[in-house]
Structure 1
Amino acid sequence: MKYISTRGQVAPTGFIDAILMGLADDGGLLVPEQLPQLSEETLKQWQQLSYQELALEVFSLFVNNEIPRADLKKLVDDSYSTFRHEDVTPVHQINEGLYVLELFHGPTFAFKDVALQFLGNLYSYISRKNNSIIHILGATSGDTGASAIEGVRGKEGIRICILHPHQKVSKVQELQMTTVSDTNVLNLSVEGTFDDCQRIIKELFADVDFKHQYHLRAINSINIARILAQTVYYFYAYFQLANKGQAEKISFSVPTGNFGDIFAGYLAQQMGLPIHKLILATNENNILARFVNEGLYQPGDFRGTYSPSMDIQVASNFERYLFYLYGGDAATVTSLMAQFKAEGRIVIPEQLLKRVQADFSAYSVDNEDCLNTIQEYHEKYGYLLDPHTACGVAASDKLAADGEVTVALSTAHPAKFDESIRLRNISQTYPEQIQALFDKPQNQIVVDGTNEEIKKQLLTFF
């Protein structure tokens, strides 16, 4: 298994080199050279596996024996031993047609833990094996930062710097990042939006000399390991429902802003998991829903919403989907991304739009719909949704057909977004780990959103 760039100017590279490269050196994103194709027999064998056993089998398809199986098993076991539920990502039934895949049982109560506990341990493993320095640089709309920091805090040979948009994440998200006192952690609170943070990260990684000189490594979903790790819970959720006798027309509704979580589902489907439908749920920052429904990829006006982790206009994983949509034509992808940089928009032809709409359904959930969904499901089923999960549930309610089963991905514990939930006069009790954050001092530096300012901070830190 080798990895290639969506822009075609990087030689096929192995798994570990792909993880260390993060953003491809030609500015593109890395994808597997070919996707494994899973037979019905293999899927049947996997159906009874535990989450850890399943993760080991999936990762084994992509590491190309670069990590001995015993070492890979230890990485997997160590990564998921930190989760509070024995199933790691349990499936909870809400009603006859709707299940919730609870992805928030990791140490920071967010779905990002599923990938970043593994990636943090993987980076530590590589650092020890290669006796190398790893400087992690990432941007967050709220959850990635806390999960990434938790994955590598205090680990020898690793330093991590996280950018988040100043006062545009929830209070709990901010506290989870900024109350960490380990000396290998730097939090930069950037004046601007998440898109500004993400742009800075991509441009710094695109400076190949700077990236190599300072050993920069990616923790955002531009890193292919993030996507591969997230494919596992699609398989696991599907198998749990199949074991309950729900084996026909299982769909997934995915709240998304950066296109990474739903792209992982797309890869699982392309590998042979018989997902019926992938429903893409956005909030009012709906560039992805407009692309699926109209064929136009163009940022609109930024809107602050009750689901801030999805307040994203430019989705960093969209380029990976374009690569598959255009049949692996790297030259066309390169041209389209250059056009987007110059003109701020991409328009696809009608025949390709039909293909997109065969791959995804999409729905944009407005602020009031989001809160109404939280209130409705709390009153009707006694189940409390966080506002991002509520977008996924609202999209499922709108687009799922009668008689079909939908799994809505629950991306965060509701305690992380109490400001939004209180607007519907719903009270909740914080988990002990979250309540304790409010008594800790914070460590963060507020900075201007310029490449030069971030570089200055990095040179001081590294």
Structure 2
Amino acid sequence: MKYYSTNLKATDATLEEAVVKGLASDRGLFMPREIKPLSQEFYEHIEELSFQEIAYRVADAFFGEDIPADTLKQIVYDTLSFDVPLVKVTDNIYSLELFHGPTLAFKDVGARFMARLLGYFIRKEGKKEVNVLVATSGDTGSAVANGFLGVEGIHVYVLYPKGKVSEIQEKQFTTLGRNITALEVDGTFDDCQALVKTAFMDRELNEHLQLTSANSINVARFLPQAFYYFYAYAQLKKAGRGANAVVCVPSGNFGNITAGLFGKRMGLPVSRFIAANNRNDIFYQYLQTGVYSPRPSIATIANAMDVGDPSNFARVLDLYQNSHEVICTDISGATYTDEQIADTMRQVWQEHRYLLDPHGACGYRALAEGLRPGETGIFLETAHPAKFKDTVEKIIGESISIPAKLQAFMSGEKQSQPMSREFADFKKYLLG
């Protein structure tokens, strides 16, 4: 499979080149030349398959031309050592709980898959050390750091905005040591992302270091996130509710929903998608106006969605040939203030005894307000509420327990390197 750039000025890349480079030479994002539909037989019997079996069929459509079948199957099965249950919240709304992995966030799937795939390419080609640069607004850093921890030949640099991630999130990537370095940037997530993107384009840096990204700009990070959309549908079909499914995705950098849109292009029977935003509603405004106007991000209680210039918007445009009209047929939007998010968390806890995190609350509310008669909604509960313990407890007025996995991180000692938002300082640090 060849991969082209969304900017259409770079030469096509192999899967290995796309994964190792992360970003195309013209600063575009890599896209597969072909999105293969899966067979009707697969969808007719999907509810009989395990999560791993479903994921392998999807992975084979993306990566099967480039990776031996036994190796790809091993990567998939090693990645998915946990379940993602579909939980009924109301009669027509279900939560897909993506927080049962090692760091209790949905990004565990993509991060673990990419770590194993990149490790395979390093061993296969005998490469020198690969340096992974990742910007995080919350859960990406912890998922990538833990997914790559101890992987031979890879060093990870996690860039995160000072004071803008929760304490638990911060501990998950600042306490690991070994091949993980945390850089605490005096700025926003957009500043962190800009540092990473600029590093990929800097000739001197790339002459001295092999750089790649583990953000959702990397095809090996975002494509595996398609796995759980298929599994969600399988569980819904098994429950007799597979018809007229609507999926709502709390959206920040838009890698997650883009993976779902790839699934729909592969034949996944989802009627439509809803992109739920917090006050960083750049995509919502695009849907209303047809004009994309990025702006500095705003801090909210749903901090992992605090993105003012979503990278994967370029992939959405490319997937739909830049047609605002066609995009609007598959995707609608919603946007919520902190007060609305908090009200939703409080109400759902009181009425249904289901505990939402701030991001999942955006997804739930969009479905509660936007489902049509006869539709069944799935929202992605992207992280365990305990990752935002102080916020959640203040909203619901009750204490919540911290899972053992998170408690283990909290006992570690923070190790981070302060960093300015200036690229010259970041470059000097990497070269030093």
Question: Normalising TM by the smaller chain, what interval?
Answer: over 0.9
Structure 2: distance between partners of 1:436 and 1:37: 42
The answer as to 2:427 corresponding to 1:432 is no
In the TM superposition, what is the alpha-carbon distance from 1:49 to its structure 2 partner? 1.5
Write out per-residue CA displacement over residues 30-58 of structure 1, whole angstroms, 9 at most, x where no aligned residue: 11102102232232243422111111111
User: 1:404 Cα shift?
Assistant: 1.1
- Match in the other structure for 2:80: 80
Other-structure match for 2:162: 166
| 1:123–1:134 Cα contact (<8 Å) kept | no
Shift of 1:286: 0.8
Match of 2:104 among 97, 109, 112: 109
- Once the two structures are overlaid, the 10-residue window that deviates more, 10-19 or 102-111, is 10-19
Cα distance in structure 2, aligned partners of 1:219 and 1:74: 20
State the match for 1:334 in structure 2: none
Q: 1:357 aligns with which of 328, 331, 347?
A: 328
- The AA in structure 2 aligned to 1:54 is I
Kindly indicate whether the alpha-carbon contact (under 8 Å) linking 2:103 and 2:143 is maintained by their aligned counterparts in 1.
yes
Q: Say whether the 8 Å CA contact 1:14–1:64 is kept in structure 2.
A: no
Confirm whether residue 396 of structure 1 aligns to residue 396 of structure 2: no
Name the aligned partner's letter for residue 368 of structure 1. Answer: E
From 375, 380, 384, the equivalent of 2:346 is 375
Moved over 3 A (4+): none
SS of 1:55's equivalent in the other structure is helix
| Whole-Å separation in 2 of the counterparts to 1:76 and 1:38 | 18
Which TM-score applies when normalising by structure 1? 0.90
Measured in 1, the distance between the counterparts of 2:152 and 2:265 equals 38
Cα distance, 1:209 vs. partner?
Answer: 5.3
1:311 aligned onto 2:327 = no
Amino acid across the alignment from 1:407: I
- Partner in structure 2 of residue 66 of structure 1: 66
**2:117 alignment counterpart:** 122
Query: Kindly tell me: are residues 407 and 208 of structure 1, through their superposed partners in 2, closer, same or farther at Cα, counting changes over 3 Å?
Result: farther
Write out aligned runs for 1:267-278 (5 A). Answer: 267-278=262-273
Q: Which moved more, 1:186-195 or 1:420-429?
A: 420-429
- The letter of the residue matching 1:158 is I
Of residues 248-257 and 131-140 in structure 1, the stretch that sits farther from structure 2 once superposed is 131-140
C-alpha distance 440-260 of structure 1, shift in aligned 2 (>3 A): same
1:422 paired residue among 389, 393, 396: 393
CA gap 1:301/1:190 in 2 versus in 1, 3 angstroms: closer
Q: Where does residue 36 of structure 1 map in the other structure?
A: 36
Counterpart of 2:315? 320
1:95 maps to 2:66:
no
Residue 216 of structure 2 corresponds to 221
Question: Which amino acid in 1 is paired with 2:158?
Answer: I
Supply the distance in 1 between the matched residues of 2:131 and 2:254 (Cα, whole angstroms).
25
1:161–1:188: 8 Å Cα contact kept in structure 2?
Answer: yes
Q: 1:442 to 1:301 in 2, by over 3 A?
A: closer
- Secondary structure of 1:221's counterpart equals coil
Q: Per-residue displacement from partner, 1:213-259 (whole Å, max 9, x unpaired)?
A: 31101100110122210111111101111111112100001000101
In structure 2, relative to structure 1, the CA distance for the partners of 1:10 and 1:419 (3 Å cut) is same
1:384 aligns with 2:355: yes
Give yes or no for the alignment of 1:178 onto 2:174. Answer: yes
1:139 aligns with 2:139: no
Q: Which moved more, 1:220-229 or 1:40-49?
A: 40-49
For structure 1, the residue ranges without an aligned partner over 5 or more in a row are 328-351
Quickly say closer, same or farther: Cα 1:397–1:166, change in 2 above 3 A: same
Q: Using the alignment, how far apart are the partners of 2:208 and 2:319 within structure 1?
A: 32
Q: Secondary structure at the match of 1:101?
A: strand
Cα shift readout 1:312-342 (whole Å, capped 9, x = no counterpart): 1000101111112326xxxxxxxxxxxxxxx
| Deviation, structure 1 residue 211 | 2.9
CA contact (8 A) 1:139 1:220 kept: yes
Aligned pair partner of 2:413 in 441, 444, 451? 441
Aligned residue identity for 2:415 = N
Larger CA deviation: 354-363 vs 298-307: 298-307
Q: Which residues of structure 2 form unaligned runs of 5+?
A: none
Q: Is the 8 A contact 2:295 2:309 kept in 1?
A: no
Q: Which segment drifts farther, 284-293 or 405-414?
A: 284-293
Residue 64 of structure 1 and its aligned partner are, at CA, apart by: 4.1
Q: 2:383 aligns with which of 382, 405, 412?
A: 412
Q: Percent identity?
A: 39
Superposition deviation, residue 112 in structure 1: 0.4
CA contact (8 A) 1:293 1:357 kept: no
Q: 1:194 and 2:189 equivalent?
A: yes
What SS does the corresponding residue of 2:359 show, helix, strand or coil? helix
Write the distance in 2 (CA, Å) between the matches of 1:181 and 1:300: 34
Residue 212 of structure 1: how far off its partner (Å): 5.1
Contact residue 25 and residue 208 of structure 1 kept, 8 A: no
TM-score of the superposed pair, with normalisation by structure 2:
0.96
Q: Is the partner of 1:241 in helix, strand or coil?
A: helix
Q: Distance in 1 between matches of 2:223 and 2:419?
A: 33
Counterpart-to-counterpart distance in 2, 1:436 and 1:240: 32
Residues in 1 aligned to 2:184 and 2:172: alpha-carbon distance in whole angstroms: 13
Query: CA separation in 2, counterparts of 1:214 and 1:442?
Result: 26
CA distance in 1, matches of 2:193, 2:332: 26
Residue deviations 1:102-135, cap 9 Å, x none? 1111100100001111111112222222111211
Match of 1:155 in 2: 151
Separation in 2, partners of 1:121, 1:422: 37
